[in-house]
Structures are given as C-alpha cells and as structure tokens.
Amino acid sequence: MPHQRSYENEAAFQQEIVDLARFTGCYVYHTHDSRRSEKGLLDLIIMRPDFGVKWRELKIPPNWLSPEQEKVLGLLLECGEDAKVWTPHDWGEIEQLLAKRHGKFGSVPSGARPRRIGRGG
C-alpha cells in the first residue's frame, strides 16, 4: 500500500501535483483567482496527449465538495469527461497516472520529483 502523504493545506497538495504534472509533460490549468468566475469549476484541468483531459478537484479531509462543485462534477461525468476528486490518500494513483508516459514522452523514474526553482523551493 502506498504511503499517504501529509499536507498543511490544499494549496500545498495542489502545488505538488502541478509540479509533478508539468515535470511529466502535462499542460495544467488552474484558475488562480476565482472570485469573479462561475462557482464550482474543479481545481485542475490536466492534459497530455497520451491520457487526454483530466478534471480534478483537490480536497484535504475533512473538507469536501461544495454544492456547486458537486453539480459541476456531475455535469462533467454526464458529458463523459474524466472528472473526480483527489485527496492525499490517492497519491499512489496520482503518481501512477502522471508518471505513466508513452511514445515521445519517454519514461519517468519511480519517485522522481521536480526541483522547485524560485519562490523559496
């Protein structure tokens, strides 16, 4: 069983996912200031040709989906999109998805981590 990671908050959890996703060749979209946007859009849209588009909402228990997020998640699923909630408990799945690379992407060694440059990292 993979080791569950621990995070101070959802921002730290999100940053580790974004860093790994970009390190493995993904395009990642996140709305940084959603105050003037429609409520409910999931935290991340992750895209890469070998696995398509993934819509992900990130939560650190006991936090859970707002009613608007539940609605958007349901709509995405009804539209046939790959949408779900990730928590730190899902780290093994997250790493497996993002580290799995095909064709022109090559491969990523298990446990590989990008080095953060700037912003104190």
CA 69 to chain centre: 15
Task: Note whether residue 28 is domain-resident.
Answer: yes
Range of the domain at 40: 10-101
Task: Note whether residue 119 is domain-resident.
Answer: no
For 49-105, the pLDDT digits (tens) are 999 999 999 999 999 999 999 999 999 999 999 999 999 999 999 999 998 764 444
Task: Note whether residue 113 is domain-resident.
Answer: no
Task: Note whether residue 31 is domain-resident.
Answer: yes
CATH of the domain at 22: 3.40.1350.10
Give the whole-number percent of the chain exceeding pLDDT 90: 69
How many of the other CB atoms lie within 10 Å of CB of 104?
8
pTM, 2 dp: 0.79
DSSP 44-86: EEEEETTTEEEEEEE--TT----HHHHHHHHHHHHTT-EEEEE
Task: Note whether residue 89 is domain-resident.
Answer: yes
